[in-house]
Amino acid sequence: MIIIVSMIVIYHVYIKRIIEEKNFQKQQELIFQNNLLEQNIQVQESEREQIAKRVHDDLGSKINILSLLLQNINNENIKQSKEQLTGLVKELSNTSRNISHTLYPVYLERFGLIDSINEVLFNVQNILKLDTHFNVSTCSYFSIEEELNIYRILQEFISNTIKHSESESIIYHFRETNNYIAILIGDSGKGVDEEMFKKKGMGIKNIETRLQYLKANFKWKTKKNSGLKLMYLIQK
């Protein structure tokens, strides 16, 4: 009888422990989801702020100049004004297209992830004069939402490189196997001390939020004068 009572007590203790562990796991999951939601909101607000600045600074200023040119056209300067207007309209068209691509990269949906990455790195090399090293295998696995996050991670990394690293090059390696996707992004800039890197700025946090969405295992590698590298792995 004593043995039976003892077994019942042990059973109840065991059940109680399981319930407590499940409750703890639920709490941790809720905390994680709340943190992810908060980070997503921060990412969205940061992107909206950047777009608002580009609309104000790029489109707004060019429209003001266009308005002034139109007001000052006369028979004496009509040829010169026409040339200026033609050039400005072309600039406005390019700016609006760039902002549109920032809002949503139509090229990505139309041509796929690999061609879109190629386009980004081509522009980096030809407009920003950074050397690019791009090595990629065929990509056939992702949904459009996942491709968009991989694309945004590259954009954010490049933006961070331009603002902070003083780098002369960008590397991007993309490898697909039967079981996983492995991606490496890096620059050759000044890097930061590992302790300093722990104080992550908004750009790095934005990248990590997207990595969490992709359920990727990731690792940052940086030290002073040795650039910054991001390696991440996505299980299929």
The pLDDT tens digits along the chain (236 residues) read 555 556 566 656 667 777 777 777 777 666 766 666 566 556 665 666 666 666 666 666 667 677 666 766 766 667 666 777 777 777 777 776 666 666 667 677 777 888 888 888 888 887 667 777 777 666 666 788 888 889 889 988 988 888 888 888 888 988 888 888 899 999 988 887 777 777 777 788 889 988 988 889 999 998 888 889 999 999 87
Residue 183 to residues 151, 168, 230: CA-CA distances in angstroms? 12, 20, 8
82, 103, 124 - which closes a domain: 103
Q: Are residues 134 and 234 in the same domain?
A: yes
Q: What is the pLDDT of residue 229?
A: 93
Q: Are residues 68 and 155 in the same domain?
A: no
Q: Are residues 111 and 30 in the same domain?
A: no
**Residue 226 corresponds to which tokens in the numbers above?**
């040795």
Q: Are residues 157 and 216 in the same domain?
A: yes
Q: Are residues 174 and 236 in the same domain?
A: yes
Q: Are residues 174 and 194 in the same domain?
A: yes
Q: Are residues 121 and 229 in the same domain?
A: yes
DSSP state at residue 105: -
Q: What is the pLDDT of residue 160?
A: 85
- Backbone φ, ψ for residue 169 (5° rounding): -155, 160
67, 86, 103 - which closes a domain: 103
Q: Are residues 64 and 141 in the same domain?
A: no
Q: What is the pLDDT of residue 236?
A: 78
Q: Record the pTM.
A: 0.61
* Domain count across the chain: 2
Say if CB 180 and CB 142 are below 8 A apart.
no
**Residue 9 corresponds to which tokens in the numbers above?**
């007590």
Q: Are residues 184 and 79 in the same domain?
A: no
Q: Are residues 132 and 87 in the same domain?
A: no
63, 86, 103 - which closes a domain: 103
Among 146, 217, 139, which residue's Cα sits nearest to residue 173? 139
Strand 131-136 relative to strand 169-176, pairing? parallel
Q: Give the domain range for residue 76.
A: 1-103
Q: Are residues 41 and 66 in the same domain?
A: yes
Q: Are residues 57 and 118 in the same domain?
A: no
Q: What is the pLDDT of residue 217?
A: 93
Among 126, 114, 122, 118, which residue's Cα sits nearest to residue 181? 114
